[in-house]
Each structure stands twice: as structure tokens, then as C-alpha cells.
Amino acid sequence: MSDLPDLPVTFRPGRTRVVLLTAGAVIFVVISGIALLLEQLGPGERLSFILTGGLVFWVLAQLARVRVVADDTGVTVVNIASRRRLDWAEILRVNLRPGDPWVFLDLSDGTSLPALGIQPGIAKQQAIADARALRALVENRSVRDPESDPGKDQG
């Protein structure tokens, strides 16, 4: 299939990531600047302002780290607080229905795994293209082994 991306490939919400990291940096700088400019604050209060700004930046950075990485052996889904490695055969279907906040992977164990690395939020068309690319990879790699395909020799 010529529509398949070259592996390894990383899917991530690029625009959302830029917005989150930029907002985090701006918030950190503003809160830290306020802490340094307010003369009536003591050292402990200044430090608490700066740590609060750092905490806000860290939370936004955690939101920005989401991704889906596909390679020759499978897929790694990195969500906000978790990372899960899947073999190609474990993924039955890639779903991105209208209104879904992100892609869902239907797995062979009967569960569904959210893959936040592909989300239509700010860049809907990119998310649709990424979901289609991942779906094509899953269909190409998990359905069957080309060497053992009994229908390979038929028309």
C-alpha cells in the first residue's frame, strides 16, 4: 500500500502542543515576574509564586506530551499519565467518530484504549489524516502475515 507512512512514525497534536507549551511558559514567566516585582512579598511567598507557576507549566507540559508512536513491532500510546505498548495484533480497530475528543483503539482483550496523541481539537483535518494513516497501518500489519496468507496466490 503506497498510502502507508514510513515507520517509525509519531502522531501528536502539533498545534495543541504549541499552544499548551506556549501558554505554560507565558504563565510561568508572568507569575514569576509578579513574584519578583511585588516588594511586599517575603522570600517564602516569592518562592510559592514561582513554584505555582512551575506547577502550572508542568501540568500543561504533561498535557502536551501525548503521542502515538508506530514502529515495525507495534504501537506505543503515551497519554497524560500512562504509557502502553501494544503489538500490532492487539489492535483490532482505530476509531475516530464525529464528536470523539480523540482516537480510540479497540483491543483484542475487549477493551478500548484512548490514544490522545490523535485529537481533532485545533487541527481536525490533521487528526483525521493521522487516524486514517494509523488505521491503514493497523489493517496492513495486524490482519495477517503476508507470508502465511492463504489467499496470496489467488487473483
The number of beta carbons lying within 10 Å of the beta carbon of residue 137 is 21
- β-partners of residue 107 are 91
- With a cut of 50, list the residues of the chain below it in pLDDT: 1, 145-146, 148-155
Each residue's pLDDT tens digit, 85-119: 999 999 999 999 999 999 999 999 999 999 999 99
* pLDDT at residue 146 in the model: 47
Could you tell me which of 75, 74, 54, 76 has the C-alpha nearest to residue 65? 76
Whole-model pTM: value is 0.80
